[in-house]
Structures are given as C-alpha cells and as structure tokens.
Amino acid sequence: MESGPEEAAIGLELYYTDSPGTGGRLKCDPEDFQVEEVSAYPPRCEGGPITIAKVTATNWEMNRLVRQLSRSLGIGRERIGFAGTKDKRAVTSQLMSFPVPAERLMELSLHQIEISEPYPAKKGITIGDLIGNAFRIRVTDTELRDEQLSRAVAATGEQLQALGGFPNFFGVQRFGAVRPITHEVGKWIVKGDLERAVMTYAANPHPNERDEGREARARLQEDRDFEAALDYYPKIMTFERTIIGHLSRAPGDYAGAIATLPSNLQMMFVHAYQSFLFNRMLSERIRRGLPLDRPLVGDVVLPADRNGLPQHDNGVPVTSSNLDLVERQVRQGRAFVSGVLFGTDSVLAEGEMGEIERSIIEQEGLRKEDFMVPPLHLCSSKGTRRELLGIVKDLRYETHGDSVTFSFALNKGCYATSLLREYLKKEGLMDY
C-alpha cells in the first residue's frame, strides 16, 4: 500500500499493512507521548567522579536539554552523557551522566525537568548504552470511532502479528517533522558540497515553519549576507545563528561553520542520509514481496547478543549451505535479516537484496569513499547494518470513542512512529 508524497520523500514509500487507517493526531499534548528508557545501568562506584541520574523532561528537544543542563552546571555540553535521542514533544525519562557531585546536580531547579535517583559511577553514559524504550502513546481525534476504530486497530495488529513485528523504518524524527532536511544536509556533506549543506540547513525555507523563521531563511537564501542575518534571525534558531555567526567572521569557511555545531548534530546529518537510503531499500524489498522475517540466499543476518539485540557490526552472509540453520535462528529470534547503512567499510548483500542495495546506491551516485569526510571527521562513517524487522514487545491498546492508547516496548534504535504509522496511515509528516 503506497504512502503519500511527504513520507516518500524520506524513503517511507509504502505501508506493509493494507488495513484501514485510523487517522488521528499524535502529541496534541506532550503527556500523550510518554517514553521510558529501558536502561543499561553503569555499575555503582562509591566515590566515582561521575553522577548517573534519571532525567525526566517534558517538551524538551535533546540538544536544547543538554545545553540547558550544561549551562546550569557550568560545564561543557560534551561532558554530559546520554544513551539516545528522545522525542521533543513528549514526556521522556532516561539516564544521563554528569561529571559533578550528586549534591550539586540535585540543587538544580529547571522548568519541566526533573532529576532523580542519582548515584556515583566510574564511567559515564555514551550513545547506545541502553536496551530499548517503553512507550505509552495516546492517539486522539481519530477518523474512525467506537467499533469501527476497534476493528481497524485489530486488523492492523493481526497483520503485524503474522509478520512478527513491523518494517523497521527510520521514523520522521530522524529527518525533521516540520522541516525534513537533515538527510539532505548529510547528502551534500558526503558529496563534498559544504556550501550547499550549510545553505540547506541555515536557509532553505519550508512552508511548515512559522512566518518569522521562514522569512528569515528566505532572506538569507536570497542575499547570503551572513553578517546582516544575525540581526534578523530569531533567537530561538540557536544552531542556525551559530553557523551564521561563524560565517560572518570567517566568510567561506563552511566546514568550520558545520564544526561549530554540537558533535551529535554533526553526526546526525550523515546518519540521516544513510537512514534515507536504508528506508528506500526496505521499501523496495517490501514492494518486491520479499520477506522481512525470513532470510534468503544472499541476505546478511545479524546474530542476537545476550539481550536479544542484533549485533549490527557482525553480519553473517546467508548461503545455500547455511540457509536452513539461519532460517531456524531467525525464527527463534536469535538472528535478524538486515539492510545496509552504507559507509566506507560496507559490505553489501548478495542475491536480490544485494541488487536492491546496489541499485539505490548507484541511483544516488555514491561511492564508499564519499563517507570519508576529512574536513569534518565527525561526519565520516564506516557504515553498519540494521535489522529490517522491528520487534514489538508487550503490545496493548485500548480504544475509547475517537481515541486509542497504545503501550509497548521496542529495542533501541527502533521508532515508535514507524510502528504507529501502520495503524494511523496519515500522509503528513507533522501528523507524527
């Protein structure tokens, strides 16, 4: 079942299910979207230099949250550790690490930020140090109601249960719901056009934006006067102003401008482009009717670790001689069929999946060496692989009138919106 043009533009070209969509709205209020990290707790170490604490934030974008915490503590933002980026318009709880005593951390009093359960540790938290996330999400104002709504939700659930999960697309948050350009910035970085990357990020107005921001971007797009732009760019556009400020002082230094951004944001650009390519590959596999829950000769599978999570950098090629064994492992949840996140060290699949991967990489005009970015080492990427099927745990739902509340848990790196889009089938990115 084909999706709308907005989703297709980020590689979400179709739905796996063909059941009726419920419609509805996500995140009318932050409390409608609750995320609780399933954390991998660093060992407690009395007298350790790091404080681990649970941080619950309401309606905070991750980079702005880290910046606020770092300013309040008087430390560099890079010294605050966290395992994964959470949704902005939501209530999120996660572990974070701070190189300050617990007493100092607990003295903070910040708007819609709660800090609790501190303990000392020897080492901080880094990206990926989690097991997954548990969600409780309320969808409101559905187009279907009462019995029709219940039947539609049940029909989608039955199809996904038969699949054993859902297509593990990267969700809209990876690209930007209001202004989905993160992957486009990454594309121009790997293609070596850093000026275009900067202008795509800092200028390049989008119709979904507020008037003030859209007008500022349009003006900069037209006159490219970075010094003047500092006078009219809204203060809330912090990262754009950082880039503009650098270029007003160092005209033409586009690499330096990107390097002024937080390290996780720099990495996100190229990761988003890799995610776009992956989404296109997964869409094509579904379009061809190839299984997501069963390996084919030529596929690459990822063995599960002791937590049941795929080992993304430990792919095993599927051959005619090991097909029966690998099929059994996948069926038992001990391995996952994968697609490539293309980078400098990528080894592509063979067979029909290899044909899909090569075709899309060729369409984009890419080479492995493009992902080595000497002017911006944080933007370089070796690549990895990602499971095609997202596993849903403890899925429950409850309908009431024109709303439905879902609760479930996902492995790390999987997107709740990629599951929910199969139920809602909405065309606009801002609906998610």
Each as own residue / partner, the long-range contacts of residues 367-373 (CB below 8 Å, 24 or more positions apart, any chain) are: 368/342, 368/343, 368/344, 369/344, 370/190, 370/191, 370/192, 371/190, 371/270, 371/342, 371/343, 371/344, 372/344, 373/189, 373/190, 373/270
Query: Cβ(414)–Cβ(425) under 8 Å?
Result: no
- Residue 426 C-alpha from the chain's centroid: 19
Q: How far is CA 303 from CA 331, 347, 390, in A?
A: 12, 16, 15
Whole-angstrom distance, CA of residue 235 vs CA of residue 331:
52
* CA–CA gap between residue 244 and residue 7 (Å, rounded): 30
**DSSP line for 313-331:** T--EE--TTTHHHHHHHHH
Question: Is residue 117 exposed (0-12), middle (13-18) or buried (19+ Cβ within 10 Å)?
Answer: exposed
Cβ neighbour number for residue 365 with a 10 Å cutoff: 8
> How open is the CA angle 59-309-267, to the nearest 5 degrees?
50
The answer to whether residue 129 is catalytic is: no
Count of CB atoms situated within 10 Å of the CB of 153? 23
Residue 317 CA: distances (Å) to CA of 125, 167, 295, 299: 32, 21, 10, 6
Q: At what angle do helices 62-73 and 263-287 cross, to 10 degrees?
A: 160
Q: Please choose, from the candidates 175, 54, 173, the residue with its C-alpha nearest in 3D space to the C-alpha of residue 416.
A: 173
Tell me, what DSSP letter sits at residue 124?
-
As a whole number of angstroms, the distance between CA 292 and CA 278 comes to: 14
E-strand stretches of 201-330: 300-303, 316-317
CA 259/CA 293 separation, integer angstroms: 41
Q: Which one of the listed residues 18, 32, 87, 370 is annotated catalytic?
A: 87
Q: How far apart are the C-alpha atoms of 208 and 177, rounded to whole Å?
A: 9
CB 360 within 8 A of CB 283: no
Catalytic residues: 87
